[in-house]
A and B are shown apart, each in its own frame.
Chain A
């Protein structure tokens, strides 16, 4: 099966390892992610105002471009797949909003009309995690594992955008299991921890890094307390905040012994013995190779 894939800006810049490992994994699992030929910023973070249609143009434009793309893909359902959880949430929310309010959709379509685009309200938005759970299945992931992640104790960090709000959630908002199930099928251990969706501070990193730091300390300390030696995430902004700010906190003398942050697809690539280069570990601030070497998980091929 082929999936129309919307990357979002960060997957091309800071989170190359997320995108490339996900594409490699998707090919292994026969759920290939095929990038849309033309796409624009999803318009994150979604506006919660009732009247600001301007900020809903970008996501609707993405949806209309995706609906063009799925027609070119053979056997693809009317859906667009995302990796970044902020893109996922923005697109899902706006998709639901315009389906509920045909008048708004008409106004936005009027803005797209000059660009030969129109959105009929016929698309669904899926996160890659949903594809893995619903279309691929955990047992099929487990079948592809050649290099089980023995010794990894993983804390699954969902962040807020995968589970909030009702319109956009991919799993139960107080008791999600999808990331844990994937980690288990890769042969890793998972920890049960309460901070799985504690907000990382999000865009405050730009001008209020104190807010982000106070969150990162709470999250990381709790993860360590439960014995986790790694965190998995599905959002480039969570990844940056948790990764980079741990280094900053160490410099400030607040918290020692940082633990590595992985995108869930990177661990899948390792467990499936895919080539190392898709993971782009050089972009990480805390070197994940140290842990992988310690556990003897590095460099094994399928």
Chain B
């Protein structure tokens, strides 16, 4: 059975009540009409009775009047001596008071039935008796209904002596109304069926009379009053019904509908939450108010529960989108926001900033994971504080962060990136037990309105970040078009090339740069510079090592390089006497496999007669966390016959502390230091000179990188450097060219 709504049900009841009231009004109206008709019928009966009685009374009065006139002695006088009959008829008779003033005419007839004197006028009595009296005639006169009444006149009371006859003519209607005070009969429209001049039985002439029933003023008044009262009552009741309907709707239907809609709304999933503020005002109906309060309480509890759920959902959502360690948004949030950014067409320009912690693996390995976590957390805090309000920081990898700056001005991205570097530099990493600060590389790619898709932007930011990772590269790098080609290689081929080279060291193509003995400028050994030959194309170190570092492939790649050097040695590409230096990264020097491979190579060369010099250049010493292991390995290498060089001394990766701690033979000044000697300020030069002097005094041999001019060479020779390398002595690869071999530049 289909349920009815309270509104329709209420409307139905109101309509039923309205129809019932109107019907009752109609019923009462019909009853009143019937009662009125019954009263009317009774009035008609009463009117007939009245007229009947009036006819009897009129007949009696006529008899009485006529008898009085007939017995009046002056009447008898006129019948005997009619000399003054006209005077008597027109004056004395009228003045006598015996007949009514309305009597039309009076006439006397002699015993033969002849009138004593003819009368003028239309209402005159006939000159001769129309019949034997007593008799009554009806006359349809010009002035209305007339009656003629004739009786005999006797001299004696015993009516033995006939003197003549008396005739009277009267206005029928006037005499009726004079004879009777009619309440019901309305004789103003009296119609008489008798033919004119016909003899009638006055007492029984009712059937021949047609008249109306007088309107009963009280009844009319009552009917009017009833109609007005009924109309007013109906209007009042209908008004009350309307008010009741309004109140019902206001007090019952509306609250119930609201309840119903609220409850129904809660049935649907998308609206399954409480609508606070529903029916905020108290209801006048106690039961509904109770329901409202109960429902309100229920909704309050539901709302609280919902809030809890929402909060939990939000927490779950946040947790799902936030990195637990740093509090920054995680990779999922990054991907979602990235997709949303792609859909949002409002932003025409965007800059993607990728942050990568330099040498984070080394930090982890050196100080432990808990320090690494704190470093990551500190980096996140610094970056977040440097970003603008509203800019989100995403942790997209172990030590990689990203942020998207929606702005048309590229300077803003630059400023933000510099501020990030600044905040990070200010952070005191010593609190975590670290000896050196953590640094980051920032790659920035910008997209101007509609320039390219976001996917391309991300790739470009990756390339810029890889570029920033390169040695001697600024730590903030904007993507440039030239970077695009390299990037494409890096992106598309370099990564696979690195992995291929790890799997197959033969893909590594080593280029050797000479390291000259000073001051005689005699080539003492060559440094193996790594490149990868893939499908005929050569991938340079600045494209290789960012990938290696990013992918944490240092040890694996260094192993492949060792194998490649071994191959070059075995193949004779490196002459048997030619010493060679091999770069090992910080992770590799503590890696047993790499060290073992290196020891094997050193030992193999030592085992040969006239074995070549093997130099191990340790890069990124600052990132060596397992210093004891590293020192032990270095001692092993030295013991095996290898020389150990501390690479990049003077840069961020190598410092005096490591020099003091590391048992090395050579100290390789970073190219930046060498350039300071030439172009630096006086004080800088003095400091460097003192450092050089100090290092030499400590028993180390010094190697200068990046020597490109004679002046530079003379300068370092003057300072006491024992070795030098650079384009001044030849480009990498030329050392193996027979034409340039052993040829010192002039």
Q: Do A and B bind each other?
A: no
Residues of B within 8 A of A (CB): none
Residues of A within 8 A of B (CB): none
